[in-house]
Amino acid sequence: MKNVQRQILHIDVNNAFLSWTAIDRLAQGEKIDIREIEAVIGGDESKRSGIVLAKSMKAKRKGVCTGETLYQARLKCPNLQVFKGDYQSYKKHSDKLYNLLLKYTDKIERFSIDECFLDMTEYLRNDSLINKAYEINKRVKNELGFTVNIGVAHNKLLAKMASDFTKPDRVHSLFEEEIPNKMWVLPVSELFMLGKKTLPKLYSMGIKTIGDLAKKDKTEIIKKFGKHGLLMWEYSNGIDNSSVNYIKEKPKGVGNSVTLPQDIYNIEKIEEVLLALTEQVTYRLRSYNMYANVVNVQLRTNEFKDFSHQKRLIRPTSSTKYIYKLAKELLSQMYKKGTAIRLVGIRLDGLIDKGEMQLSLFDNDNNVKQENLDKVIDELKNKYGYKKITRAGKINFE
C-alpha cells in the first residue's frame, strides 16, 4: 500500500466545562454569560475538593490556572465567581460535538470529553484540510453555541500541539516545514507528555525550548530517560506515527475514589467508605459486562502521601461480595493504625469480557448466586436511581 500523507485534525473545546455551563445557564434564563466575567468551574471547598476545573478568559488574564486551589485563584482574582460543574450535561454537549463531527469523517478518536482527533485522509476530495477546519470551527460555533480550537497537521502530535496555540476560537496549522518557527521556539514545558518531574532534569541539561530538545543527541536522551526519552525526543522533532483510534476501546481498568470531608483515623470507618466505593465500581464494571482480575486499594494520608496495595483475585469476577472481601484484606494489610486518611480509592484492573472468562472447574453455585444478587440490585438501581439503593449494611459481607 502506498504511504499517503495523513490529514489530521485535533478539535479542542475552549474552556469546555465553563463554556458548557454558560450555555446551560443561558438556556435556563440566566441573564449573565459566565464566559464574559471573571468566573471558574470549581470543586466544593467544604468537601475539601476546592480546585479550579475550568476558567473564563477574563479569569485567565488575572492569572487563574486550572488545577490550583480556589483559595489561590481568589488571591489573584478577588471578584472571582465560582460555579459548580455538571458532568451529565457535559457528556451531552460532548456527544453533540461528536455527532456533528461524524458528518465529516467516521474516523474520530474521542481523546477526552472535550477533545477529538479526526482522520480526514479519505474525506478531503477537492477541499484543503485547512478549509475543512475553518468550516468545522464555524459550524460548531453556529450550531452548538461554543467555540473550539482546531489543530491542522499530518499527525496527531502536531495537530494537538497546534490546537494549543493562541486561543480561543482559532484554527492553526503545524505542518512539517512550520516546526522550526512555530514549535521549536516554544518553551520545552509546552511539549505534550512532558510533565513537571521531567522539566527540571531537562533544564539542568541546558534544554529550555522544544528546539533545544529536538537538536540533542537522541541516544543521550534515551540513555537518561529510557522509553519516555525516546517519546519526548520524537515528539520534539514532530515524529508521531500513531493512528487515530476511532474504534471505542474497552476500558482496561475502572476505579472510584473519594476525598473525605474530614480525615479519618479508624479502620472501621475506612471500611465503610471502601464498601460504598466497591458497590460503585463493581456496578460500573457490570454495566460494561466485564470481570476484573485484580483489585487495587489506594489510600492518601493527610500529608498527601499515597499508598496502594493490589492482589489478583482467585478467579475473575464482578461480584461485589468477593471484590469487597479482597479489598478489605488489602486494606488491613496496608493500614497503619492511627494514620490520618484523606482519600480512599479502589481500582479494578485486568478487565476481561464476560464471554472471555474460561469456565473454571472451581466454579460453583455460590458464584451464580452472587451474580444473580448483584443483577437484582443493579436493576433496582437502574430503575429507581443509584443513590437510593445500597445493601443493608455490612451484614452480607462477613
Partner DNA sequence: TCTGGGGTCCTAGGACCC
130 touches DNA (CB under 7 A): no
With CB under 7 A as the contact rule, the residue among 89, 121, 243, 259 that binds DNA is 259
With CB under 7 A as the contact rule, the residue among 254, 290, 331, 341 that binds DNA is 254
C-alpha cell at 342: 484523606
The closest alpha carbon to 36, from 54, 18, 50, 24, belongs to 18
In angstroms, give the least distance from the CB of 4 to DNA: 26
Determine the Cα–Cα distance for residues 207 and 143; give it in Å rounded to an integer.
44
With CB under 7 A as the contact rule, the residue among 32, 185, 193, 340 that binds DNA is 193
Determine the Cα–Cα distance for residues 341 and 304; give it in Å rounded to an integer.
9
C-alpha cell at 19: 463554556
The single residue of 38, 109, 115, 279 carrying the catalytic annotation is: 115
Determine the Cα–Cα distance for residues 117 and 150; give it in Å rounded to an integer.
10
Q: Binders of DNA among 3-22, rule CB under 7 A? A: none
- The residues that bridge with 311 in the sheet, in sequence order, are 295
Identify which of residues 67 and 206 has a Cβ nearer to DNA in the complex.
67
In this structure, the strands spanning 81-83 and 341-349 are unpaired
In this structure, the strands spanning 39-42 and 115-119 are unpaired
271 belongs to the catalytic site? no
197 touches DNA (CB under 7 A): yes
267 touches DNA (CB under 7 A): no
With CB under 7 A as the contact rule, the residue among 2, 31, 125, 227 that binds DNA is 227
Tell me the per-residue interface mask from 45 to 64 with DNA, x by CB under 7 A, - otherwise.
xx-xxxx-x-----------
Task: Count CA within 13 A, CB hemisphere, residue 48.
Answer: 11
Determine the Cα–Cα distance for residues 116 and 244; give it in Å rounded to an integer.
9
Identify which of residues 65 and 395 has a Cβ nearer to DNA in the complex.
65
Identify which of residues 68 and 135 has a Cβ nearer to DNA in the complex.
68
Judged by CB under 7 A, which stretch of 21-29, 65-73, 207-215, 315-323 contacts DNA? 65-73
In the chain, DSSP finds a helix count (H) and a strand count (E) of 12, 13
With CB under 7 A as the contact rule, the residue among 9, 18, 41, 43 that binds DNA is 43
89 touches DNA (CB under 7 A): no
Judged by CB under 7 A, which stretch of 138-146, 171-179, 225-233, 386-394 contacts DNA? 225-233
Identify which of residues 110 and 391 has a Cβ nearer to DNA in the complex.
110
CB-CB contact of 205 with 184 (8 Å): no
With CB under 7 A as the contact rule, the residue among 311, 325, 381, 391 that binds DNA is 311
Q: Binders of DNA among 324-363, rule CB under 7 A? A: 334, 343, 345, 347
With CB under 7 A as the contact rule, the residue among 307, 371, 373, 389 that binds DNA is 307
306 touches DNA (CB under 7 A): yes
Residue 101 identity:
L
CB-CB contact of 189 with 213 (8 Å): no
Residue showing cell 464498601: 275
In angstroms, give the least distance from the CB of 156 to DNA: 12
Determine the Cα–Cα distance for residues 186 and 278; give it in Å rounded to an integer.
45
Determine the Cα–Cα distance for residues 130 and 9; give it in Å rounded to an integer.
9
112 touches DNA (CB under 7 A): yes
Q: DSSP 3-state assignment of 353?
A: strand
In this structure, the strands spanning 148-153 and 171-173 are parallel
In angstroms, give the least distance from the CB of 270 to DNA: 14
CB burial of 29-67 (b: ≥16 within 10 Å; e: otherwise) equals: eeeeebbeebbbbbbeeeeeebbbbbbbebbbeeebeee
316 touches DNA (CB under 7 A): no
The closest alpha carbon to 178, from 214, 157, 149, 153, belongs to 153
Identify which of residues 135 and 263 has a Cβ nearer to DNA in the complex.
263
251 touches DNA (CB under 7 A): yes
In angstroms, give the least distance from the CB of 131 to DNA: 26
Judged by CB under 7 A, which stretch of 95-103, 149-157, 254-262, 368-376 contacts DNA? 254-262
By CB neighbour count within 10 A (0-12 exposed, 13-18 middle, 19+ buried), where does 329 fall? middle
165 touches DNA (CB under 7 A): no
Determine the Cα–Cα distance for residues 300 and 306; give it in Å rounded to an integer.
4
CB-CB contact of 216 with 204 (8 Å): no
Residues in binding contact with DNA, number by CB under 7 A: 53
- Where in the sequence numbering do the catalytic residues fall? 115
Binding site for DNA (CB under 7 A): 43, 45-46, 48-51, 53, 67, 69-71, 74, 111-115, 192-199, 226-228, 251-259, 284, 294, 303-304, 306-312, 334, 343, 345, 347
